Structure 1
Amino acid sequence: MDDAGVALAADCIGARSAPLRILIVSDAWIPQVNGVVRTLSIVVDHLRAGGDTVEVIGPDRFVNLPMPGYAEIRLAVAPGRKLRRLVEAFAPDVVHIATEGPLGWAMRALCRRRGWPFTTAFHTRFPEYLHARTRIPVAWSWAVMRRFHEAGAGTFAATRSLRDDLAARGFTKVRAWTRGVDLVRFRPEPRDPWEGLPRPVFLYAGRVAVEKNIEAFLALDLPGTKVVVGDGPAREGLRKRFPDAHFTGYRDNGSLARSYAGADVFVFPSRTDTFGLVLLEALASGTPVAAFPVTGPLDVITDPRVGALDDDLRAACLRALDCDRAACRTHAEAWSWEACAAQFRATLVPIR
């Protein structure tokens, strides 16, 4: 976290106002498993613990259909009327729209009709994701994204490089909202020994989907073993193409934490993520990171002792083997979910 982010988060923790009724509308919500859901669920827990009343409206409350090509993600169908009833019943003090899907657009329209200010968050580079899947020109998608977010009172973005990028693309209301890591759950011990797998172990953990660029990792000529923890629509195809890699499927709780801690290097091949919570989870587990020098890694891997960034991902992987595991843990300790939740709350905009 940069110095300005640390100072702002600290100020937010010490500046809590009277309890709020906070409405969060998100197309990404439980039981989906991804960084957006994990961030929101943890922040909601912190807000409720502090005395706020928080309502999350997700696609689970509506008739929904699987997203084409990604069945794990459900999209609400024609949510407008029911959404209005749910919002009226809750009577929020503030509204935050987390995503740009059907629910996000429906809530945006409702707020505009009522003259309510609202905030949004930029979690995902959908223009690049859509281009990877459908070849839709990124310029078209960026225009739609800008139209969505600029209608609000502020767009939350996790890192300085992402905020700079959004500003360069014409976003005028970008605000800082940092991230955190569970330092109790993710720790250097205990470690998965990865018995039977040749060392060093290079680990990827997260969704197994085309936009994560996992092929760039699996195609590398590296010593030891490549391990992929997670599930998603690209898993079976990658498993067949790269039979020498070790695919574990989805892991959670202590099993996931031990997976991080037991690896020698955590490899983050994505070029399109806006942050990458897995970076902090790996570092908290004492495992150095290898990644491309792009948004997310550039903002998290700011100390050469905790990872290596290089456009040559193989070179980054090999350099990361020499990083300091103790320094990785210390670096992660600067990132707090308490600060993340406090900053989120302080940046919301009242509707009355």
Structure 2
Amino acid sequence: MRLLIATDAWHPQVNGVVRSLENMAAAGRDLGFETVFLTHQDFASVPLPGYPEIRLSYATRGKVARLWSDLAPTHVHVATEGTVGYATRRYCLAHGRPFTTSYHTRFPEYLAARAPVPESWSYAWLRRFHGAASGTMVSTPSLERDLASRGFRNLMRWTRGVDTDLFRPALPDESRPEALAGLPGPFFLFVGRLAVEKNVSAFLDLDLPGTKVVVGDGPDRPRLESLHPRARFLGTLTGAALARIYAAADVFVFPSLTDTFGIVLLEALACGVPVAAYPVTGPLDVIGETGAGVLGTDLREAALAALAISRERCRQEALRYTWGESARQFFTNISLAHGTGLPTPRRRTFRAAPAV
């Protein structure tokens, strides 16, 4: 079986959507699926103004049709609502091909933070977009309830995972990363895109002891760096370099109010780092009452309280999330929505996609 994933989120972007799709492709081989991608790389595109790592593709239904015969998919998943996803959706509808979608981003809230567009308008468009799918995958129970209350239907659960071999606590003989050498602790860490919708200022404005560390890049970075010269900005990190920064942190602060999950929460927990966050979708589902973090409307109090949490408790919570289970849910949803059964899986042990 061959699964086509149409996505506007792809390299060089570094985010949870790209990581999730890469891991599904890696898992698909063991579950009897060959996975092919349709991305901005298949079309002429231009960088999004102010956000150059995001490409706006000139994706049309006609170009999708020309690529379709070579791709020859048996199953289709539309991962994003951008031009690539929309053109693929139109092609499927025109040719009576079933497809699934996934809801990764609170686009109405993101758009409202940047432009005077009522959230109700955006949700109406998204409801129409996803309403044509045989199933729409959501990452958490709270997101499922929220979207159901807004009229979305055919919702299917798809959780996320974490590579607990890469993301792990520091060993006793491992030294502090050079980027943090000489800085006072405790270390309060943020990892993610530096953009207004991530609410990073809510973290950097906190009166906290020690050092605030920021990993990531984005259009808001120059402004944030100028306003917070005492914070340490490390830019984008991946793979082992990122894991070492996580493991050196004392608390992971997650100020976002709009994320649908937050894979960074799992990465922090896997490194034994407790989480401080607002009680919203994502943290409510991942942290909740686990004792692996502190949720509260006062983010400073939550961050300080999280210092007392056992690192082993955090690690144990992260071990509950595997990319293998995430893939099982994803491909089961794909098969159910297309009216097929899962193919006979290969007898191999699934490994997470290699970190870049």
TM-score higher than 0.5: yes
Q: Are the aligned partners of 1:111 and 1:117 in contact in 2 as well (CA < 8 Å)?
A: yes
Quick check: 1:350 aligned with 2:331? no
Give the RMSD, CA atoms, in angstroms.
1.3
Q: Which residue of 1 aligns with 2:343?
A: none
Correspondences of 1:1-352 after superposition (within 5 Å)? 20-190=1-171, 192-193=176-177, 194-348=180-334, 349-350=337-338
Which is further off, 75-84 or 194-203? 75-84
Q: Work out the CA distance in 1 between the residues paired with 2:121 and 2:58.
A: 24
Q: Work out the CA distance in 2 between the residues paired with 1:88 and 1:126.
A: 32
Q: What amino acid sits opposite 1:292 in the alignment? A: Y
Tell me how far 1:80 sits from its aligned partner. Answer: 2.3
Tell me how far 1:185 sits from its aligned partner. Answer: 0.6
Q: TM-score if structure 1 supplies the norm length?
A: 0.92
Tell me how far 1:88 sits from its aligned partner. Answer: 2.3
Q: Which residue of 2 aligns with 1:7?
A: none
Q: Are the aligned partners of 1:27 and 1:99 in contact in 2 as well (CA < 8 Å)?
A: yes
Q: Are the aligned partners of 2:290 and 2:317 in contact in 1 as well (CA < 8 Å)?
A: no
Q: Are the aligned partners of 2:276 and 2:306 in contact in 1 as well (CA < 8 Å)?
A: yes
Q: Are the aligned partners of 1:79 and 1:106 in contact in 2 as well (CA < 8 Å)?
A: yes
Tell me how far 1:351 sits from its aligned partner. Answer: 7.3
Q: Give % identity.
A: 54
Q: Work out the CA distance in 2 between the residues paired with 1:31 and 1:268.
A: 23
Which is further off, 24-33 or 273-282? 24-33
* Deviation per residue, 1:180-210 (Å, 9 max, x gap): 0001110002563522111110000111111
Q: Work out the CA distance in 2 between the residues paired with 1:170 and 1:68.
A: 33
Structure 1 counterpart SS, 2:234: strand
Q: Are the aligned partners of 1:93 and 1:351 in contact in 2 as well (CA < 8 Å)?
A: no
Q: How many pairs are equivalent?
A: 333
Q: Work out the CA distance in 2 between the residues paired with 1:152 and 1:172.
A: 9
Tell me how far 1:149 sits from its aligned partner. Answer: 0.2
Tell me how far 1:304 sits from its aligned partner. Answer: 4.8
Q: Work out the CA distance in 1 between the residues paired with 2:290 and 2:101.
A: 33
Q: Are the aligned partners of 1:287 and 1:325 in contact in 2 as well (CA < 8 Å)?
A: yes
Structure 2 counterpart SS, 1:249: coil
Tell me how far 1:69 sits from its aligned partner. Answer: 2.6
Q: Work out the CA distance in 2 between the residues paired with 1:301 and 1:117.
A: 35
Q: Are the aligned partners of 1:201 and 1:224 in contact in 2 as well (CA < 8 Å)?
A: yes
Tell me how far 1:293 sits from its aligned partner. Answer: 0.2
Q: Work out the CA distance in 1 between the residues paired with 2:59 and 2:138.
A: 28
Which is further off, 282-291 or 75-84? 75-84
Q: Work out the CA distance in 1 between the residues paired with 2:282 and 2:241.
A: 25
Greater than 3 Å deviation, 4+ residue runs: 190-193
Q: Work out the CA distance in 2 between the residues paired with 1:309 and 1:330.
A: 19
Tell me how far 1:303 sits from its aligned partner. Answer: 3.6
Which is further off, 275-284 or 187-196? 187-196
Q: Are the aligned partners of 1:116 and 1:351 in contact in 2 as well (CA < 8 Å)?
A: no
Structure 2 counterpart SS, 1:75: strand
Structure 1 residues without counterparts, runs of 5 or longer: 1-19
Q: Work out the CA distance in 2 between the residues paired with 1:85 and 1:53.
A: 20
Q: Are the aligned partners of 1:131 and 1:137 in contact in 2 as well (CA < 8 Å)?
A: yes
Q: What amino acid sits opposite 2:2 in the alignment? A: R
Structure 2 residues without counterparts, runs of 5 or longer: 341-356
Q: TM-score if structure 2 supplies the norm length?
A: 0.91
